[in-house]
Amino acid sequence: MNDVKVRAFFLSTAGLREETTAASTLDEHSLSLPRGAYTTFRTYHGTQAFRLEEHLNRLSESAMLDGFPLEFAHPAARHAIAEAVSLAGFSESRVRLTFPYEPSGGLYIALAPFAPLPARLYQEGAHCVTAAPGLKRANPRSKGTSFIQPGSQARAGLAAAHEILLLSEGAILEGSSSNFFAVLGGALYTAEEGVLFGTTRNLALAQAEGVLPVIRTPVSVADVPRLQEAFLTSVSRVVLPVTRIDGIAIGDGVPGPHTKAIGRGVLAAITAELAPISP
C-alpha cells in the first residue's frame, strides 16, 4: 500500500468497481479519462469532508455549461465515495470526481494520499508568476477536464514558483488551480468575472466581509508593486499567503494581518462545517 499513488474506481448502475491505474498523480489519471466535468476535495479525519454537496452540484453545473445537461444521484455518489475512501485506505485523501460527458453515465472516483503544504509556505508566503497570454480556461465558469493538461504542464515548469496566475488584458484573474485575492488601499480585491468559483473562495469572501471592504474587481499586473497583501484559496491550500509575484515583493514581503485573519476564520468555519461523506 505504501507505494500506491492513486486508487481509481468507477460508479455505474451495477455498483462500484475498482479500476487498474498506473497513474502517479490525480492529474495523470484524469488525462486517461473521457472528457467531462471534475471536482477535487480532501478528507478530514479520514471520513469527513467540507461542503461536499457543493462539489457535487458543481459537476452538474459544469456539465450544463459545457452543453451536456446531465444529472446523477447524489446519495448514491456519496455512498460510493465513502466506500472508495475506505477501500483506498489512506489516512487522509485527495478525492477527484469526474463526471464523463460521452459516453454519459457513471462517475469516476480517484484518490491519492493528501499531505498538507509545508508549514514554511504559510509562515513565509508563496511565490507566484504570471502566465503567458495563451494559458486560459475555455469556459471559466465550468470546471472541465480540458484545462487539466495545459494547467498541469504549465505548473510542471514552475521551478521555484508555487502557482501560475492567469491574466486577461493585464488583469490578474485567478491561479491555474486556485483563486486569487489582493489587498490594495486597505480593500480586498478579487475577480468576479472570468473565474472559476471555488468553495474555499466563497468561504474566504464571507470571512473577509468582517475584516475589510471587499471589491469584486481584479487588480492588474501594474498594481503588483503597490499591493499590500495577496493570497490564494483552494481546497488543499485553504488560505495561502503570497509574498512575491514575478519576483516582486508584496507589501513587506511577509504574510499580512488581513490574510492571517481571513485564514483563521476560514479554518474555523471549515472545522465547524465538517460532515461525514456518506449521508
Which pLDDT band, with edges at 50, 70 and 90, does 4 fall under?
low
pLDDT of 2 over the 60 cut:
no
Q: What percent of the chain has pLDDT over 70?
A: 98
- CATH 3.30.470.10 for domain 7-113, yes or no, is yes
Whole-angstrom distance, CA of residue 175 vs CA of residue 164: 6
pLDDT of 105 over the 90 cut:
no
Sequence length of the chain is: 279
CA 278 to chain centre: 22
Which range, of 102-106, 158-162, 235-239, 247-251, averages the lowest pLDDT?
158-162
Any alpha helices (H) in 157-235, and if so which ranges? 199-208
Which of 265, 271, 267 has the alpha carbon at shortest distance from 211? 265
Whole-angstrom distance, CA of residue 35 vs CA of residue 148: 10
Residue 42 DSSP code: E
Average pLDDT of span 218-235? 98
- CATH 3.20.10.10 for domain 119-272, yes or no, is yes
pLDDT of 273 over the 80 cut:
yes
Average pLDDT of span 172-185? 96
Q: What is the pLDDT of residues 22-49, one digit of tens each?
A: 999 999 999 999 999 999 999 999 999 9
- C-beta of residue 221 within 8 angstroms of C-beta of residue 263: no
* Domain spans in the chain, listed from the N-terminal domain onward: 7-113, 119-272
pLDDT of 1 over the 50 cut:
no
Whole-angstrom distance, CA of residue 65 vs CA of residue 69: 8
Which range, of 14-23, 55-64, 145-154, 226-235, averages the lowest pLDDT?
145-154
- Reading the block at residue 47, the C-alpha cell is 471520513
List Cα–Cα distances, 120 to 16, 25, 94, 260, in angstroms: 40, 23, 21, 14
What is the longest distance spanned by two Cα atoms in the chain?
Answer: 57
Name the strands in the sheet holding 7-12, side by side, starting at the edge strand that comes first in the sequence.
Answer: 15-19, 7-12, 107-113, 93-100, 36-42
Which pLDDT band, with edges at 50, 70 and 90, does 135 fall under?
confident
pLDDT, position 165: 95
pLDDT, position 59: 95
pLDDT of 179 over the 80 cut:
yes
Looking at every residue in the chain, the average pLDDT score rounds to: 94
Q: Which residues, in sequence order, are bridge partners of residue 277?
A: none
Its sign, for the CA torsion 42, 234, 194, 187, is positive
Q: What is the pLDDT of residues 115-130, one digit of tens each?
A: 999 999 999 999 999 9
Average pLDDT of span 201-205? 96
pLDDT, position 3: 62
Average pLDDT of span 143-162? 83
Rg of the chain (C-alpha set) = 19
Whole-angstrom distance, CA of residue 179 vs CA of residue 94: 18
